[in-house]
Amino acid sequence: MAPRADGRLNHDLLPDEKGPQDACGVFGVWAPGEEVAKLTYFGLYALQHRGQESAGIATSNGSQLLVYKDMGLVSQVFDETALNALQGHIAIGHARYSTTGASNWENAQPTLGPTAAGTVALGHNGNLTNTAELVELVAERYGSQRRGELARGNTTDTALITALLAGDPDHTLESTALEVLPRLRGAFSLVFMDERTLYAARDPQGVRPLVLGRLERGWVVASETPALDIVGASFVREVEPGEFLAIDADGLRSTKFATPERAGCVFEYVYLARPDTTIAGRSVHAARVEMGRKLALEHPTEADLVIPVPESGTPAAVGYAQQSGIPFGQGLTKNAYVGRTFIQPSQTLRQLGIRLKLNPLREVIRGKRLVVVDDSIVRGNTQRALIRMLREAGAAEVHVRISSPPVKWPCFYGIDFASRAELIANGLSADEIAASLGADSLGYISEEALIEATEQPASQLCTACFSGRYPIELPPADRLGKNLLEQNELPLGAPEDGLVSILPGGGAATALDHP
């Protein structure tokens, strides 16, 4: 199931067709006197579009840290009973889509580890590029015996960060973090905590968003601004690239652990972020409308109606209609109530053209020359099925317009695209792709126009998935990959005895107690 940029959940047109997947949503709160677990629940609810595989919340009351996590959506994992058990004044939360390590309970977050004075719980949005190097660092510092989360079968780069933060018995978590953070490479927006302090950190490039908000009685950090809005927190500022924050009874402390080298992900503006998010001072909705306007200037056509592919294509379609003067209309209706289904359609149902997500409004489409606006094309299977559906509904012409450039390169910073061989834009021109999809024409926005729509300097954006220019150096291919930590030859040995005691009631919750 692909996350859509409207923050709601629905299937792609084709049940097996996976769109670009983001890495995760993170949320943290320090607020004495507030119900921090419920604040975190609603914060994660606002970030559900960033990951739907698992969800978890950790809380602390100052002396005991509890974690509750499980596979599924935020609303499936938590109920009133679970949230009421998570007492305290500090909390962090995480909604996961896997970009490193398999999608299973062992890899759900927050992750846990013992520190010199207590426990660390950590949530991570992004993807590290020096995972293999960090495996060697963990083995060098603490021996090849697997520890903590790694001992319990966690195969994520997040577990490695946790192992490094938790491993130093002679230093505080804060001082250990300031030593570990400069050694991480790639994309990381982190929220973590011990029994008394909330921490946040963002990589020097600021690839993934992370914002700071103020409550009347505390502070909030979150992946996107709507998570601040939903809990009534006022936006203060972005967490700066290369910045480390600590929030406790003494207030908020900020430390720069690296020199900022901004390279924010441009795909956040195209697709990943909610439209009501603001990134680097720019409204994502406004950026998408402007992408549509520029698309109309670069790829005009004669048509009767502009229709979006709901919902992420809608703002760009509005902009295309405004600029071109062609009326905007809703030609496709969406089933907004399709949740995650595990029922795979049979071949017979496939041949009948199962439509879990979209259905055409025939009376709107019949006889019309259509401009169909979507945010991106990855493999092209969804667009091919969509165009066939529109023609069956009576469309006279179908002109496809895409509000991002051709996706030609993999992302190593937290988006799980199809493999390079599967990307339809590799080796085919726009006209050849149009023919393959069955469209009358196809136009992609240029990279230059896309960047202009974000109102950010080109030098401060990552466009690697379009351009192949990677702002953070990549290791050799054999030291990259989603399942790197599941390889047996890495220098981490057999698991040690477990660290965590399970709370009564099942496998979804863990607790670490310290005097």
Q: Identify the active-site residue in 13, 24, 66, 221.
A: 24
Provide the pairing of β-strand 369-374 with 305-308: parallel
Flag whether 194 is marked binding: no
Contacts of 88 (CB under 8 A, 6+ apart): 36, 37, 59, 60, 61, 62, 64, 66
Task: Please tell me whether 429 is known to bind a ligand.
Answer: no
Q: Which residue has the tokens 């047109």?
A: 13
Q: Is 144 known to sit in a ligand binding site?
A: no
H-type alpha helices, 193-276: 225-230, 267
N residues, the chain:
515
Q: Distances in Å between the alpha carbon of 31 and those of 121, 417, 482?
A: 17, 37, 36
Say if CB 46 and CB 29 are below 8 A apart. Answer: no
Q: Count CA atoms within 13 Å of residue 477 on its CB side.
A: 1
User: What residue type is 31 in one-letter code?
Assistant: A
Rg of the chain, C-alpha, whole Å? 23
Cα–Cα distance between 313 and 7 in angstroms, integer? 13
Distance CA 133, CA 396 (A): 56
3-state helix, strand, coil in the chain (%, to 5): 30, 25, 45
Cβ atoms 27, 47 nearer than 8 A = yes
The answer on whether 374 is annotated among ligand-binding residues is yes
- The span from the CA of 403 to the CA of 294, in Å, is 9
At 168, list the tokens.
């130093």
The reply to whether 376 sits in an annotated binding site is no
Question: How far apart are alpha carbons 427 and 261 in whole angstroms?
Answer: 32
Rounded Cα distance, 441 and 401, in Å: 8
Q: Give catalytic status of residue 24 as yes or no.
A: yes
What six digits make up the tokens of 301?
A: 């056509």
- The answer to whether 75 is a known ligand-binding residue is no
Give the separation between CA 2 and CA 11, rounded to whole angstroms: 6
The DSSP symbol for 2 reads -
CB-based contacts of 478, cutoff 8 Å, min separation 6: none
Nearest CA among 482, 446, 438 for reference residue 467? 446
**Number of neighbours of residue 301 by Cβ within 10 angstroms:** 16
The binding site consists of: 265, 312, 374-375, 411, 462, 465
Catalytic (active-site) positions: 24
The binding site for [4Fe-4S] cluster consists of: 265, 411, 462, 465
The binding site for Mg(2+) consists of: 312, 374-375
